[in-house]
Amino acid sequence: MTGKVLITGASGFVGYHLIESALSRGLEVTAGIRKSSQVDHLSGFNIRYAHLDFTQPAQLARVLEEGGYDYIIHAAGATKAPTQPAYDEANALSTERLAGAARMALPRLKKLVFLSSLAAIGPLTHIEGAITEQTQPNPVTAYGRSKLLAERKLAIQPIPWLVLRPTAVYGPRDKDIFILLRMIRRGWEPYIGKAPQRLSFVYVKDLADLGVHALFTEHIHRTYNVTDGRAYERFELAEIVKDFFHRRTLRIFVPVPLVRVIASTLERAYARRQKSPALNREKLEELTAPNWVCEISTVKRDLGYLPDYDLKNGLEETLEWYLRNGWL
């Protein structure tokens, strides 16, 4: 495989693994970053850099034209923002501007792969069944709504695009699920409420490999949900971590009403700072949703997706990386 690929959001968790996968397939990689991005962890890669300003369409078009890219993987975005307009700016309008710039500056663009999120569909409200590409979108967070808006803005662009909607992504260098893993290792196993849940996950290397592979498939103008293809009960992640460390935990169930009060308090406190707390009332809806299980037969059929990792071997590899690199 040859060609030039621009990877936006390259300094982030998923971006790192996209770079690694693209280089392993012989692609010439340019990391699309902001001027403020920290890139020390990318120094071992043989890549170029391009500074992108998603608020400036003309600058975007100029950078794309100078790069002469064959492919784009758009992984940039925000998972935390203070308001819906801020989410829309970071996730939807930036996608629209990038696609518009690509239309003008890269007339021979072979494909743009956009990493959206399963949050754009939202969870099922019942414990049975699975989310499919035909499930009516009902995002429960501002983040999810912004990703759905990004998909809709991309859909009207006359360029060869493809959308991947990953579920919860974990793996080496992740800082979100890492917080929970660290708590479990320290002997704490917290849960919000006692209602049953069915969850889905995808290992970052499987997602990155699929994102790069999707560049070379014939399919365009389609959207695919991405998980490891399995359904997990709410306690399974903790059980894997406990087995790995050979330790017991204190399982704590925090009542949902209490967490809702905490979330409301955090929202009011952060409103003065124009920042978004890690926990808010919308995020609580996402965390307590009954069912995030996903059907992936379509992506397996069309893109030949065969995930190498389930939650057990993915978590074990992740935990080994955290230990080796001094995170745990």
- Of the candidates 207, 150, 196, the one whose C-alpha atom is nearest the C-alpha of residue 293 is 196
Provide the pLDDT for residue 123: 97
Q: Measured between alpha carbons, how far is residue 68 from residues 6, 71, 108, 215 in Å?
A: 9, 9, 9, 16
Closest CA to 131 of 178, 171, 177, 168: 168
**Strand-pair partners of 235:** none
Contact predicate 115/12, CB 8 Å: no
Residue 268 has a pLDDT of: 86
Whether 76 and 32 have beta carbons less than 8 Å apart is answered as yes
Backbone angles phi, psi at 167, to 5 degrees: -80, -155
What pLDDT, in 10s, does the model give residues 155-183? 999 999 999 999 999 999 999 999 999 99
110 within 8 A of 273, measured Cβ to Cβ: no
* Contacts of 50 by beta carbon, 8 Å cutoff, 6+ apart: 6, 30, 31, 32, 33, 63, 67
Superfamily of domain 4-173+200-230+293-309: NAD(P)-binding Rossmann-like Domain (3.40.50.720)
Q: Is there a contact between 20 and 4 (Cβ–Cβ < 8 Å)?
A: no
pLDDT for 274 equals 67
> What percentage of residues in the chain have a pLDDT greater than 90?
91
Residues 123, 291: contact at Cβ < 8 Å? Answer: yes
pLDDT of residue 287: 93
- Which distant-in-sequence residues (6+ apart) come within 8 Å of 278 by Cβ? 80
The DSSP letter of residue 321 is: H
Q: Which residues of the chain register pLDDT less than 50?
A: none
Q: What residue ranges do the domains of the chain occupy? A: 4-173+200-230+293-309
pTM: 0.95
Distances in whole angstroms, Cα of residue 116 to Cα of each of 8, 100, 164, 225:
13, 18, 6, 9
Comparing CA positions, the residue from 28, 145, 18, 165 lying closest to residue 86 is 145
Rounded Cα distance between 316 and 200, Å, is 17
Cα of first residue to Cα of last residue in the chain, in angstroms, is 37
Q: What are 22-60's pLDDT values in tens digits?
A: 999 999 999 999 988 999 999 999 999 999 999 999 999
Q: Alpha-carbon distance 47 to 26, whole Å?
A: 12
Helix extents (H) in 112-169:
142-155
Indicate the pairing of strand 198-199 with strand 232-233.
antiparallel
